[in-house]
Amino acid sequence: MITKDNIEAYLLDFAEGNLNKKDKEELILFLDNNPEYKELMNSYDSSLVLVPDESIVFSNTDNLKHKSRKKVFFVAFKYSAVAIAACLLVFLFVSKLVIKPVDNENTNLNHETLVAKISPESVIETEKETIKPKTVPTEKEIKPKEEPKKEIEPKIIHSNSLVVYEVDNMVKIIEPEEKEIKLQNVIEVDNMIVFQDKKEIKKNNLLDKLKQNIENRIDKGFKSFNSSIAYFQENVRLEDGGITLYKNKNN
Amino acid sequence: MTEKEYNFCIDNFASSLLRFVRKHLNNHQWAEDIVQETFAKVWEKRKDINFQKAKSYLFTTSYHLMLNDIKKEERKENLVSNNIEANSNEFNDISDVLDLAFEKLTEKEKTSVLLRDYEGYSYEEIAQIQDISLENVKINIFRARVKLKQYLVSIDNIV
């Protein structure tokens, strides 16, 4: 219903052609009864439109914008991940260097089967630590000569002045002089000499077994077998009744 | 609204928002402050804003900020009166006259007519932005155009 409160809304719709037939008739009737609004209608000019000044622009749009932090976060995360990985690698490397003593359980070079004679000149006799008899059997019990020959498997490694046998999943070290080594049964692999008691040597099989043995048994704690040997040369000495472990004071 | 959409709004609506507010306040720096504050508020609530309605949200926010600013500081009245007095005897063209005529409108009339003429909003959209009835929007616009026309005629008679 048209009233004095909403007549201007109807006048606007009328000027813009938005009134239906019924509303038009109602408006005409209202204007007839209120002629002062006819004059108001004449004052309305629909062509009077405000035009924005396009020269006015917001110049600091860059200051308003937000740049994503995802990339920064991602890059930071990426670099931190690399840093963590690098730290882990360094830690592992350093731990390998620091944790140098032989882990007999890992290497299977346990004292029960180990017999080694090392020249005294290579050992600095400073501090002495004798292994308890409970864990160290007598020399007689562990001499390779006492082992039945038939049970000796041809998994033998010879390095420097030591000869290493592997028998029944155990490793034995003896002096090469104590064992007759037939030249035809000796081959050289890298810096080590490998021989076996059997008459024939299958080089390929022996080489594979040698590498596997080094990797699986001897070199779990160390990267090379030679370093293990060097350790024994420096620290282990065979004496009557057992093996003596010498520790260098400087260490 | 995503960050990308938000930045799109800045690129496309910041200037029109500035013109809208500046026309109200007749003060560029003040208008820029309002626009900046508007976008800051929109950024805070961007997750709740539908991008399709972002423009309306911007105008709504700036409109209410502007009204609050005017009421709080009462700066505009002085600025406008000073401005009118300073320029009342200098009419370079019809736009200057229209500017003066525009200042005679109420805030609601100004907003309704500016949203209609500057941005081309429908009456329903204007009602939503201003949070008033559709009828009141039409009344505002009708009265605004009548006042502008009457002012132009009066100035023409004086000159």
Four-point Cα dihedral A14, A15, A18, A19, nearest 10: 10
Please indicate whether, in this complex, the C-beta atoms of A57 and B15 are within 8 angstroms of each other.
Answer: yes
> Burial of B24 by CB count in 10 Å (0-12 exposed, 13-18 middle, 19+ buried)?
buried
Structure confidence by residue, pLDDT tens digits, A85-99: 887 888 887 776 665
| ipTM, 2 dp | 0.80
Select from A42, A50, A55 the residue whose CB has the most chain B CBs within 10 Å, as the one to mutate to test that interface.
A50
Helix (H) or strand (E) holding A39: helix A36-43
- A149/A80 same-domain check: no
Nearest by CB to residue A68, choosing from B3, B16, B32, is: B3
- A126/A203 same-domain check: yes
pLDDT tier for residue A65 given thresholds of 50, 70 and 90 = confident
Please indicate whether, in this complex, the C-beta atoms of B19 and A50 are within 8 angstroms of each other.
Answer: no
Dist CA B60 CA B42 (whole Å): 11
Dist CA A52 CA A217 (whole Å): 87
Dist CA B152 CA A49 (whole Å): 13
B69-83 residues labelled b (16+ CB within 10 A) or e (exposed): bbeeeeebeeebeeb
How many domains does one find in chain B? 2
- B113/B100 same-domain check: yes
- A110/A172 same-domain check: yes
Q: Which residue has the tokens 């009548």?
A: B146
Question: Which of A28-37, A207-216, B101-110 is predicted with the least confidence, judged by mean pLDDT?
Answer: A207-216
Nearest by CB to residue A43, choosing from B32, B139, B150, is: B150
**A interface residues, B as partner, C-beta within 8 Å:** 6, 8-9, 11-13, 15, 40, 43-46, 48-53, 56-58, 60-61, 63-66, 68
Dist CA A245 CA A134 (whole Å): 15
> Burial of A192 by CB count in 10 Å (0-12 exposed, 13-18 middle, 19+ buried)?
middle
Backbone angles phi, psi at A166, to 5 degrees: -115, 120
Structure confidence by residue, pLDDT tens digits, A159-189: 444 455 544 444 454 544 544 544 444 444 4
Confidence at residue A44, expressed as pLDDT on a 0 to 100 scale? 85
Average pLDDT over residues A219-246: 57
- A124/A236 same-domain check: yes
Full domain range(s) for residue A89: 61-98
Please indicate whether, in this complex, the C-beta atoms of A56 and B22 are within 8 angstroms of each other.
Answer: yes
Residue type, A139: E
pLDDT tier for residue B109 given thresholds of 50, 70 and 90 = very high
Residue ranges in chain B assigned as alpha helix (H)? 3-25, 28-44, 54-73, 75-87, 94-103, 107-117, 123-130, 134-158
In angstroms, what separates the C-alpha of A211 from chain B's closest C-alpha?
60
- Does residue A210 form part of some domain? yes
- A77/A164 same-domain check: no
Confidence at residue A79, expressed as pLDDT on a 0 to 100 scale? 66
Residues of B in contact with A49 (CB under 8 A): 117
pLDDT tier for residue B111 given thresholds of 50, 70 and 90 = very high
pTM for the predicted model, two decimal places = 0.52
Between B149 and A77, where is the model more confident? B149
The closest alpha carbon to A117, from A160, A155, A170, belongs to A160
Backbone angles phi, psi at A183, to 5 degrees: -60, -35
How many domains does one find in chain A? 3
Select from B145, B147, B152, B155 the residue whose CB has the most chain A CBs within 10 Å, as the one to mutate to test that interface.
B145
- Does residue A1 form part of some domain? no
Residues of B in contact with A48 (CB under 8 A): 145, 148-149, 152
Dist CA B61 CA A9 (whole Å): 26
